[in-house]
Homo-oligomer: A and B are copies of this chain.
C-alpha cells in the first residue's frame, strides 16, 4: 500500500467538511465510525473536525490554542458545524465552533463547543528555550503495537475501531494494563503515527493528544472516562515521522482526573501540550 500523504489520507477524508451554500460559517460533515472507542467518537478526532471549520472561517491557518467542552456523547453519522469569528488580529485570530447532530425528533443537539485561537506556526520565530525533555521510550520496534495485546476491549467492552487507524506502540513499561497487570501509576507513553503512514500536521496533533488509552487503565480503573474539557496548545509544526506522546495523571479526586499530554516530533521538539478534565465512571 502506498504511503498516504497530508491531504490524501484516511484522516483527511474522515475530517473533511463541506461548506453549506448560502450559509457562511456552516459546514456539513459525516463523522466516521472508524474513530470510535468504547462508547463514543474519539474526542481528538472531533477536535480536528471542529478545527477544520475554524480554519475555513478565520484568516490564520493553524490552531494555536484550542479549548473544547464536551457536552453530549457524539455518534458516528451526519453532523453540522456552526463556526463564527470572534476577533481577528494581525498575528492571531479567535473563533468559536459548535458541533451538532440531529436528535431523534430532528432538532440539533450540541455535542461540542470549541473556542480556538489560530495563528501561523510557520511564521513564528525560531527561538527555543526549553527545559522540557522528550519522554524516554524504547526503540519503536521494541514497543508492541496496540493490536498485539488483548487490550482495551478487555477493560471496557465497546468499539476499538480507532486502533485500526493508528500506528500506536506503547512503551511496555506503561502497557501492563493490557495484560491485566496495570502498573498503578498515572502514566502512559508511546510512539504514535497514522496507520496509513500520513505524516503529522497541526491538525493531526489535535488527534494525537487524545489518542492513547486513558491513564485510568494503567491506574487499574475499569470504566469509561469521558472528557469534560480538553485544551490543546500547538507549539510548533511537527516534522515528518513518528510522534512520541506521553500522558500523565497526578490527581484523581472527587470522581474527576486530569490527563496531561505532551507530544514530541521526530526532530525532538515539543509540538503540542494538552490537559483534559475527565470524569471517572467506574464500571
Asked if A87 meets B72 with Cβ closer than 8 Å, knowing A92-B228, A252-B128, the reply is: yes
A231's partner among B113, B125, B229 (CB-CB below 8 A) is B229
A96's partner among B113, B117, B126, B270 (CB-CB below 8 A) is B113
A39 within 8 A of B: no
A202 within 8 A of B: no
B65 touches A277 (CB 8 A): yes
In the assembled complex, the CB of A93 is this many whole angstroms from the nearest CB of chain B, namely 10
B273 touches A258 (CB 8 A): yes
B64 touches A67 (CB 8 A): no
A185 within 8 A of B: yes
- Kindly state the interface size class of chain A when it binds its partner: 35 or more
Contact pattern, A 44-68, Cβ under 8 Å of B = 1, otherwise 0 = 0000000000000000000011010
B254 touches A124 (CB 8 A): yes
Judged by DSSP, the binding face of A is: strand
Q: Chain B contacts of A254 at CB under 8 A?
A: 121, 124-128, 235-236
A 216-270 contacts with B by CB, 8 A: 219, 228-229, 231, 233, 235-236, 250-256, 258, 269-270
A186 within 8 A of B: yes
Q: Chain B contacts of A116 at CB under 8 A?
A: 69
Binds B, one of A23-31, A74-82, A129-137, A170-178: A129-137
A71 to B85, CA, bound (A): 12
Q: Which A positions have Cβ atoms within 8 angstroms of B?
A: 64-65, 67, 69, 71-72, 86-87, 92, 94, 96, 110, 113, 115-117, 121, 124-132, 185-186, 219, 228-229, 231, 233, 235-236, 250-256, 258, 269-270, 273, 275, 277
